[in-house]
Chains A and B, each alone.
Chain A
């Protein structure tokens, strides 16, 4: 016999403000099978949960309907309350009379009527609820970190310190990310390499950590706790285990003038190269597009000079398959392409550069050995103009730019201005800004120091045009406070280019079944409360891949992601949500429609013996759902022509009963 209890929440005044809760209680107490109905000010409070327990015992309830907020808020709370009252937690239904009712209706009669309808629908469904039991499955105690910038390094370091194994997959030949390219870092001006290198060296010696550099994620299957990942290890043409990083090969290589990616093409490298002095792993790599041996089979010099016999021209990409319990995405950011901004003459003038290019120029290990010079003529610039917000804060229709504030450029602009002033105090520096955004510990003080102590001229207004006439740059700008248009003759112009997610983010997100926003940044499971989790169970977000961040924020997030992953890996088993799909084998014709629509690859087919009415045995191909992989999205249930697929907890019968109840 079904005995149902209905609990109507007032949610303070959130629900009560628009819905007459007493009327809802009264209406529901007259419904078939309902043996108890009551109102409570806050159902989610401990007294609300006690009410469930008491009523369940006293009225011997077999099911519980809570009329409250969205199940996203408190379904888990009420399931727990039901379980402690001795009920199966899946015999709980929620009628959302807040978001779907009191918050969207002003008229009390209308809102109350709808609340009663929703409550009746919930009871109809509840009457058809089955008892469900979660399955438990084991957790692979190893994590994968995709991206080896400061975010990925920090996440891997923290996870390994908790005693778990971690692999880092980095697409470039070395880990380090943008931070390895920077000169000094705001707001303390410590040298980027000096604080990064100890970390990269440590991680390369950490027994729990494997670094797959020059590698990319090929495919991902499985589910939280049990991911299987194929990793493409791109051919380096150098045996990683043999190379000592001596660099003799690069020295002897006859192909010299290849643009150096690490210096953003401002310097050059040889066809075989070690990306930078502190590279980890410090292993050479051959660029097949410029190597003479790989292109025409003529040369082979590096192989002859390599004492370690590490060169292998026949190396091919390799695919390795690994298992992981959790995955952290740490794919970071890159500056946008500024060539479409014709007005700034970046394309035509060597002396209009991006801020990241300036980082390389200021860096002692960079293309000019840290000397600030113009790339056109090697002369030190006397007047430097910084333009902020290049491609940031644009309108949605703007194809060249982004709608968001890139967050880091105001600060690195102040930093770069200070660094130049420290080295060359006689330089005239102008910073054109719309607003200076410097919220952060010691950030505003830092920017003010640039203006007050170093005499950097901050001018409120934008630059309209930069002209390069025979190597002389003219900057035309507006000074909005002085109400005048200015023309400045500049020797160097630096563009604070907006940052965007790594170009691979979209493809990676689809492999991971994780979602990205309109700008390509990874979406958080909740922007406020779950900032380091993706909506996909077992996939976490570390660093700037979810939005522009400076190093302190990146590191904080990276550690937070690690904490979540450690929490997951510390469990021996995980429980799966039992609301999954299942096929009625007698109805299934094995047509594959369901497997084709399943976004999680949860459906496979098995050959099964069936005893026919005439006593013969027939082998038929039927669908079989892996309950651990199935997320209960229900796509297969609508795809199946035979009505063979159904969802536990959301069966066709239950949904129809709800619809019937609403329509009657």
Chain B
């Protein structure tokens, strides 16, 4: 990865603070995609808090997250792990393409290769 992504950048993008995590693991206990993730949500949060973001950008888990928000819903500390995952995913996607799409262009761009998670995440972002 050429540009190192900072913890602060992720916090700014996601609007959520990994330092609030008390490491209870309720997010990972709730996650339906747990078995497919190299870094389950509690660990994802921890790695971001440590600034260890490189491996996260490369992991397949960012595309396995269903954006179901179970982790966000149940986290007792209001950490919102899925939003952190989403931020990392967006950065990973941006790095790949190097350009951004407008909401109106979404539908024509959509094809079988577009990860559905990116689609729903983009929608959440653009419809705010």
Indicate if the CB atoms of B22 and A434 lie closer than 8 Å: yes
Taken together as a complex, chains A and B put the C-alpha atoms of A247 and B56 apart, in Å, by: 69
| 0 or 1 for each of A371-404: is its CB under 8 Å from B? (1 = yes) | 0000000000000000001000111011001000
B74 at the interface (CB under 8 A from A): yes
- B1-49: which have CB < 8 Å to A? 20, 22-31, 34-35, 40, 42
| 0 or 1 for each of B71-109: is its CB under 8 Å from A? (1 = yes) | 000101110000000000000000000000000000000
- Determine the chain B residues whose CB is within 8 A of the CB of A434 once the complex forms: 22-25
| 0 or 1 for each of A455-476: is its CB under 8 Å from B? (1 = yes) | 0000011111100000000001
- Determine the chain A residues whose CB is within 8 A of the CB of B30 once the complex forms: 343, 464-465, 476
- Determine the chain B residues whose CB is within 8 A of the CB of A465 once the complex forms: 29-30
B70 at the interface (CB under 8 A from A): yes
Indicate if the CB atoms of A478 and B28 lie closer than 8 Å: yes
Query: Known contacts being A343-B74, A397-B78, is A461 close to B22, with CB within 8 Å?
Result: no
A477 at the interface (CB under 8 A from B): yes
Query: Known contacts being A343-B74, A478-B42, A480-B42, is A393 close to B29, with CB within 8 Å?
Result: no
Taken together as a complex, chains A and B put the C-alpha atoms of A54 and B70 apart, in Å, by: 73
Q: Which single member of B20, B23, B26 contacts A464 (CB below 8 Å)?
A: B26
Indicate if the CB atoms of B77 and A462 lie closer than 8 Å: no
Taken together as a complex, chains A and B put the C-alpha atoms of A434 and B76 apart, in Å, by: 12
Q: Which single member of B28, B31, B70, B78 contacts A461 (CB below 8 Å)?
A: B28
Taken together as a complex, chains A and B put the C-alpha atoms of A393 and B35 apart, in Å, by: 28
Taken together as a complex, chains A and B put the C-alpha atoms of A434 and B75 apart, in Å, by: 13
- Determine the chain B residues whose CB is within 8 A of the CB of A476 once the complex forms: 29-30
Taken together as a complex, chains A and B put the C-alpha atoms of A483 and B25 apart, in Å, by: 10
Query: Known contacts being A465-B29, A478-B42, is A395 close to B76, with CB within 8 Å?
Result: yes
- A447-506: which have CB < 8 Å to B? 460-465, 476-478, 480, 483, 485
Chain B's nearest CB lies how many Å from the CB of A487? 10
Q: Which single member of A389, A460, A461, A477 contacts B76 (CB below 8 Å)?
A: A389
Query: Known contacts being A393-B76, A398-B78, is A462 close to B31, with CB within 8 Å?
Result: no
Indicate if the CB atoms of A462 and B29 lie closer than 8 Å: yes
- A330-385: which have CB < 8 Å to B? 343
Query: Known contacts being A398-B78, A480-B42, is A393 close to B26, with CB within 8 Å?
Result: no
Query: Known contacts being A397-B78, A401-B76, is A464 close to B22, with CB within 8 Å?
Result: no
Taken together as a complex, chains A and B put the C-alpha atoms of A476 and B27 apart, in Å, by: 11
Indicate if the CB atoms of A462 and B26 lie closer than 8 Å: yes
Query: Known contacts being A462-B29, A463-B29, A485-B29, is A480 close to B23, with CB within 8 Å?
Result: yes
Indicate if the CB atoms of B76 and A485 lie closer than 8 Å: no
Q: Which single member of B20, B22, B25 contacts A478 (CB below 8 Å)?
A: B25
Taken together as a complex, chains A and B put the C-alpha atoms of A295 and B98 apart, in Å, by: 77
- Determine the chain A residues whose CB is within 8 A of the CB of B40 once the complex forms: 478, 483, 485
Report 21 cross-chain contacts, Cβ distance below 8 Å, ordered by A residue: A343-B30, A343-B74, A393-B22, A393-B76, A398-B76, A398-B78, A434-B24, A434-B25, A461-B29, A463-B26, A463-B29, A464-B27, A465-B29, A476-B29, A478-B25, A478-B28, A480-B23, A480-B42, A483-B40, A485-B28, A485-B34
B residues touching A (Cβ–Cβ < 8 Å)?
A: 20, 22-31, 34-35, 40, 42, 70, 74, 76-78
Starting from the known contacts A343-B30, A464-B27, A480-B42, 12 additional A-B residue pairs (CB-CB under 8 Å) come to: A395-B20, A401-B76, A434-B22, A434-B25, A461-B25, A461-B29, A463-B29, A464-B28, A478-B28, A478-B34, A480-B25, A485-B29
